[in-house]
């Protein structure tokens, strides 16, 4: 099911109807880091309860919905694929998957929230921290944000450097113990558990250091630029 699922009327619907069909719980966003469980579930963030928005019947059993904006999903070739780091950096980089795997590996478990109401709890990710990727490129002082470009055109989104440095943000190359599947963004996707899923760009092929955060695909279409789970697009308490 590769249907775009964020029609703009969703936004209005949620705003108008949230009192009627949204339950909220005080769960917060939690991430478990391998090698020392840290739960950050104490921040008082409210969550939509998936079942109360009536999605239970249409969500596949593992909970994911596969989203795309183009007609076909990108493919990649393991040998020739490269991640480009450019923009306001001293040394633009072109990194292979092997280069990424040589960087410090991070394992974490975090939940994934789409702004439309579905959630996948406890997804096991492995990958690399953004800072570890940026280090060799050397971001310039004027660079305050990152643009993540998908090989699925025209999907793009951005984070401030500060957001990208949150401790559970990662460029994931494994999901639930296997290479990230094609439908979920192979070979590399962004994961930022504290924000709604539209910030977690799939099929990332370029990270550009920019003077300020660029407006992302869904943000052009009305969604908040800071997509904090529980605090954006109508969910503020
Ligand atoms: N390239 C690309 N990345 C994307 C999207 C997309 O359509 N294209 N959808 C976003 C949205 S709205 C969500 S909720 C998640 C869904 O992740 P999934 O398709 O792996 O389930 O991917 C995000 N990243
Ligand atoms: Mo989403």
What residues contact residue 121 under an 8 Å CB cut-off, 6+ apart? 63, 111
* Shared-domain flag, residues 212 and 139: yes
Mean pLDDT over 97-112 rounds to: 97
24 SS3 class: strand
Q: How far is the CA of 110 from the centre of ligand 1 (A)?
A: 16
**Residue 217 CA: which ligand is closest?**
1
Question: pLDDT for 56-88, tens place per residue?
Answer: 434 444 889 999 999 999 999 999 999 999 999
Q: Is residue 55 part of a domain?
A: yes
Domain ranges, residue 188: 83-220
What pLDDT is stored for residue 237 in this prediction? 37
Q: How far is the CA of 4 from the centre of ligand 1 (A)?
A: 9
* Shared-domain flag, residues 62 and 143: no
Q: How many C-alpha atoms does 13 have within 13 Å on its Cβ side?
A: 11
* Shared-domain flag, residues 49 and 145: no
What pLDDT is stored for residue 28 in this prediction? 54
Checking if the pLDDT of 231 tops 50, the result is yes
End-to-end CA distance of the chain: 33
* Encoded tokens for 130: 């953004």
Which burial class, exposed, middle or buried, applies to 69 when counting CB atoms under 10 A from its CB (0-12, 13-18, 19+)? middle
Between 57 and 128, residue with greater pLDDT = 128
For the chain, what is the radius of gyration of the CA atoms? 17
Question: pLDDT for 179-224, tens place per residue?
Answer: 999 999 999 999 999 999 999 999 999 999 999 999 999 999 999 9
Q: What is the CATH number of the domain that holds 106?
A: 3.90.420.10
Q: Is residue 103 part of a domain?
A: yes
What pLDDT is stored for residue 43 in this prediction? 33
Q: How confident is the model at residue 29 (pLDDT cuts 50, 70, 90)?
A: low
Checking if the pLDDT of 4 tops 50, the result is no
Question: pLDDT for 149-186, tens place per residue?
Answer: 999 999 999 999 999 999 999 999 999 999 999 999 99
Q: Is residue 116 part of a domain?
A: yes
* Shared-domain flag, residues 56 and 102: no
Distance CA 144, CA 140 (A): 9
Q: How confident is the model at residue 6 (pLDDT cuts 50, 70, 90)?
A: low
Neighbours of ion ligand 2 (CB under 5 A): 114, 197-198
Q: How far is the CA of 68 from the centre of ligand 2 (A)?
A: 10
The protein residue with its alpha carbon nearest to ligand 1, atom 2, reads 202
Bridge pairing between strands 83-87 and 204-210: parallel
Q: Which of 139, 34, 158 is nearest to 86 (CA)?
A: 139
Omega into 154 within 30° of 0, i.e. cis? yes
What pLDDT is stored for residue 35 in this prediction? 44
Q: Residues lining ligand 1, CB < 6 A?
A: 6, 64-69, 114, 150, 152, 155, 184, 197-198, 200-203
The protein residue with its alpha carbon nearest to ligand 1, atom 11, reads 198
What pLDDT is stored for residue 5 in this prediction? 53
Count structural domains, the chain. Answer: 2
Helices (H), the chain: 9-21, 97-102, 130-135, 161-164, 217-220
The protein residue with its alpha carbon nearest to ligand 1, atom 19, reads 66
Q: Which residue matches tokens 């990727």? A: 133
* Shared-domain flag, residues 51 and 105: no
């Amino acid at each position: 099911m590769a249907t775009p699922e964020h029609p703009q009327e969703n936004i209005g619907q949620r705003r108008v109807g949230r009192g009627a069909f949204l339950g909220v719980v005080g769960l917060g966003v939690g991430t478990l880091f391998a090698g020392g469980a840290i739960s950050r579930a104490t921040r008082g963030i409210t969550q939509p309860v998936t079942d109360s928005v009536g999605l239970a019947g249409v969500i596949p059993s593992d909970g994911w919905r596969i989203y795309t904006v183009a007609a076909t999903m990108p493919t990649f070739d393991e040998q020739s694929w490269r991640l480009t780091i450019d923009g306001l950096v001293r040394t633009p980089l072109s990194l292979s998957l092997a280069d990424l795997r040589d960087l410090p590996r991070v394992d974490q478990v975090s939940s994934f929230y789409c702004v439309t109401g579905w959630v996948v709890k406890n997804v096991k990710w492995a990958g690399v921290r953004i800072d570890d990727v940026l280090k060799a490129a050397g971001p310039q002082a004027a660079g305050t944000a990152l643009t993540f470009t998908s090989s699925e055109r025209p999907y793009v989104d951005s984070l401030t450097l500060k957001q990208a440095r949150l401790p559970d943000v990662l460029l994931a190359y494994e999901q639930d113990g296997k290479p990230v599947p094609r439908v979920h963004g192979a070979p590399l996707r962004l994961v930022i558990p504290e924000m709604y899923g539209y910030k977690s760009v799939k099929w990332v092929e370029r990270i550009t250091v920019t003077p300020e955060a660029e407006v992302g695909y869904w943000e052009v279409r009305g969604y908040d630029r800071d997509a904090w789970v529980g605090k954006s697009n109508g969910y503020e308490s």
